[in-house]
Amino acid sequence: MNRQAEIINPFARLRSLLGDAKPGIEPAIDLTIGAPKHALPDFVKEVLAEKHALYGNYPPIRAIPELGEAIASWLERRYGLAGIEPDRMILPLLGSREGLFSAVFTARERKGGQGGVALIPNPFYQVYAAGAQAAGLEPVYLDAPRESGFLPDLDRLSQNRALLERTSVMFLCSPSNPQGAVASTDYLKKVIALARQYDFMLFSDECYSEIYYGEKPPGILQVAHEMSGDFSHVLAFNSLSKRSNLPGLRSGFVSGDPDFIEKYARFRNVSCPQLPLPVQHASAKVWANEQHVIESRVQYHEKMELAETLLKPHIFFEKPAGGFFLWINMNELGGGERVVERIWKGCGVKMLPGAYLAHEELGAQREANPAFDDVRIALVHDLETTREALKRIVSVF
């Protein structure tokens, strides 16, 4: 078991690491934050302007019909999921992060409300642990190293019956942040079976689902439906932040287990902010449009190919299956923190130490952190800015 510890924002830790050090080259290039900088869908501002008077109304707890139907249609196109009922199986969110945090409270109450465990992949998105601690669950971190394909080892987990019986919720991210690993259909079947056997909720963070470099990543709802024809114990969280380059719109959704959705809707109705009506109308248009998603994905392909061309002769890394991060082991160069400092001072490119995205036992040596040697690089800028940043990194090495 892992003891609870303070959850520190990784970017705050980075600021402390770099301190007052000046970038080696101006202008500096920031490759730390996963905020897409591709073009926005050009019709969004028109819809927001057209519907601006609706900011004067409180939004409903459920999605407006246009948004619910647009999300259901997208789920059918993307995953073959016919028969999604928006009123029973979909809730709008202020981005997927808000839902990944607040839904933990309902998961805890569903399992009896008496403590319990949240299983979290390690490294991880910090909101998983924040939600667990706020809801009174014990976060238990499941290391996801290269040896297990950057995903938690389910065979090892399945042997810990005592832990699984105490589990209220398990978080999964595919494609994963930060490593870009994609859970296979077989992997998803195994984790769904565990959730159903031990009666815990499975929260699948799929916000990178539309950024991939080979086959389309399977979705948790798709696999659950193939297994049993329903979505029992399973929820998928997604948003327009990565798919549509709209992180500032704060628009997402959760879909899945209708019994859980009903309980969660009652909780949200008294505790959570709702998605403004103009944003719901704009989001409906965005979920219905695929052309901008295809164009954006082409740009990520170009940048990933550029990274392979420029970096691989000097630094080995494994091309991710999805997402827009490079996850690079820097063991031979002194570990993640040392390399991040060296690159910043040497050429003005800012990267994120992998250790800041992972949990380590309190009092343990820093090398016990499963991402101590890694760095995360976000390929979110345009192609030429990315080229300049990668060339600078190579020049330092």
Q: What is the mean pLDDT of residues 52-72?
A: 97
pLDDT at 368: 77
Q: Which two tokens stand for residue 183?
A: 């859970």
pLDDT at 183: 98
3-class DSSP state of 225: helix
Q: Which runs of E-coded beta strand occur in the chain?
A: 29-30, 90-93, 117-122, 138-143, 167-173, 201-205, 234-239, 252-256, 325-329, 349-350, 352-353, 374-378
Q: Taking 60 as the threshold, does the pLDDT of residue 363 lie above it? A: no
Higher pLDDT, 366 or 317: 317
CA of 123: how far to CAs of 97, 178, 227, 349, 374, in Å?
16, 7, 29, 23, 11
With cut-offs at 50, 70 and 90, classify the pLDDT of residue 361: low
Q: What DSSP string describes 62-106?
A: SPPHHHHHHHHHHHHHHH--TT--HHHHEEEESHHHHHHHHHHHH
Residue from 334, 357, 339, 361 nearest 349 by CA:
339
Percent of the chain topping pLDDT 90 = 93
CA dihedral 31, 35, 37, 40 (to 10 degrees): 170
Q: CA 315, CA 330: separation in Å to the nearest integer? A: 8
Q: Which two tokens stand for residue 84?
A: 């999604």
Burial class from Cβ neighbours inside 10 Å (0-12, 13-18, 19+) for residue 18 reads middle
Residue from 85, 86, 105, 103 nearest 94 by CA:
103
pLDDT at 397: 82
Q: Which of 4-18, 247-261, 336-350 has the lowest mean pLDDT?
A: 4-18
Whether residue 221 contacts residue 229, with contact meaning beta carbons closer than 8 Å, is answered with no
Positive or negative torsion for Cα 33, 39, 40, 45: positive
Q: Which of 5-9, 119-123, 216-220, 265-269 has the lowest mean pLDDT?
A: 5-9
> Which domains, from first to last, does the chain contain?
10-34+292-396 (3.90.1150.10), 57-289 (3.40.640.10)
Q: Which two tokens stand for residue 69?
A: 């139907």
Q: Where are the alpha helices (DSSP H) in 330-397?
A: 336-347, 383-396
DSSP 8-state symbol, 212: B
Q: Taking 80 as the threshold, does the pLDDT of residue 5 lie above it? A: no
pLDDT at 1: 36
Beta strands at 234-239 and 201-205: parallel, antiparallel or unpaired: parallel
3-state secondary structure 252-291: EEEEECHHHHHHHHHHHHHHCCCCCHHHHHHHHHHHCCCH
CA of 217: how far to CAs of 7, 147, 385, in Å?
30, 20, 28
Q: Taking 50 as the threshold, does the pLDDT of residue 2 lie above it? A: no
Averaged pLDDT of the chain: 95
Residue/partner pairs of 45-51 with CB below 8 Å, 24 or more apart? 47/278, 47/281, 47/282, 47/285, 48/278, 48/279, 48/282, 50/281, 51/277, 51/278, 51/281, 51/282
Q: Taking 70 as the threshold, does the pLDDT of residue 197 lie above it? A: yes
Provide the residue type at 70 as one letter: A
Q: What is the mean pLDDT of residues 61-73?
A: 98
With cut-offs at 50, 70 and 90, classify the pLDDT of residue 364: very low
pLDDT at 7: 80
With cut-offs at 50, 70 and 90, classify the pLDDT of residue 367: low
DSSP 8-state symbol, 184: -
pLDDT at 84: 96
pLDDT in tens, 260-314: 999 999 999 999 999 999 999 999 999 999 999 999 999 999 999 999 999 999 9
pLDDT in tens, 124-151: 999 999 999 999 999 999 999 999 999 9
pLDDT in tens, 27-37: 999 999 999 99
Higher pLDDT, 227 or 146: 227
